[in-house]
Amino acid sequence: MDKILTLAGEALFPITRDRHGNPLPVPPSTGFSVPGTIQGEGKLAGMPSLFIRLSGCNLRCIWRLEDGSFSRCDTPFASFDTREVVRIEVGELMELLQANLDETKHVVITGGEPMLQKDALIELTRRIKGELGLHISIETNGTIFSRELAGFIDLYSISPKLRNSDPDAEKLSALGLQMSGPFKYHPEKRKNLEVIQSFIDFARNNGKDFQLKFVIGRPEDEHEIKEEFLGKLHSWKPGDILLMPLGSASEELRKSARLTMEMAVRNGWRYSPRIHIDLFGNRQGV
């Protein structure tokens, strides 16, 4: 029997057909007549892709901007409030994916935190590589590692969470948020350098790629990145380090974009756009 994945939101998106190839009655959130979108962030920004969004997160982030306002995780339906989920067998998801590929050759596994469901993902990614031959990226916070799963992934997009992301009581109260969902929150486990180094080492030794993608909202983030992460990790290059402005909406991005860009230039790191927010705002399924 196929393993079951717990997915959030649109589950596989954006798509225009059911798993039998029949047109869906409602067009995707992109408004396009074809399935697929582009990767909006990181080294593969602009690459035509399909996304698989898993439900559940072990960190559930809320950031504080320089002006004192708060910005929560841009996918709260997959992290903070995970009551509405789609449970789907790997085989059914494979059929749905194949029916919506067209010319798309990249699939992105995201969340929430996908590695919480690593056992089912091993089966899914093995089949994606073996039956469809697609390029697979996984977006992870870098707190859980699976060597077996890593073998089926082409790009590890690791987004370590800085102290500014901690969802403390003040932030939760200000945004009226509750901690819900099936996965427990462990504030003491927000950083795992051993796991991050395992991803880097596996990539270097097995012809894979990785990126360390940091969300920037305040000047002191630069010191934390250097001293608490990069200074304790090895085998990375400046081109592997990406800085992304904080925000789940265009007006929030504008507050931190110049700070982020200057920080990237000063250190020889990459600046990562957030194309989907620029084009669609804070909309699901794009």
- Give residue for tokens 């989907």: 276
Binding site per annotation, positions: 38-40, 53, 57, 61, 73, 75, 110, 112, 159-161
| Known binding residues for Mg(2+) | 75
Region of residue 107 (phi > 0: left; psi between -120 and 50: alpha; otherwise: beta): beta
- State the binding site for [4Fe-4S] cluster: 57, 61, 73
What is the spatial distance between Cα 213 and Cα 164, in angstroms, rounded to a whole number? 15
User: Strand (E) positions, 102-187?
Assistant: 106-110, 135-140, 155-158
Binding residues for substrate are: 38-40, 53, 110
Dihedral of alpha carbons 5, 211, 79, 282, sign? negative
Residue positions in the annotated binding site for S-adenosyl-L-methionine?
Answer: 112, 159-161
- Going by C-alpha positions, the residue among 158, 160, 156 that lies closest to residue 206 is 156
What is the DSSP secondary-structure string of 217-237? Answer: -STTHHHHIIIIIGGG--S--
Q: Name the DSSP letter for residue 152.
A: T
- The helix or strand, by DSSP H or E, that contains position 120, with its residue range, turns out to be helix 118-127
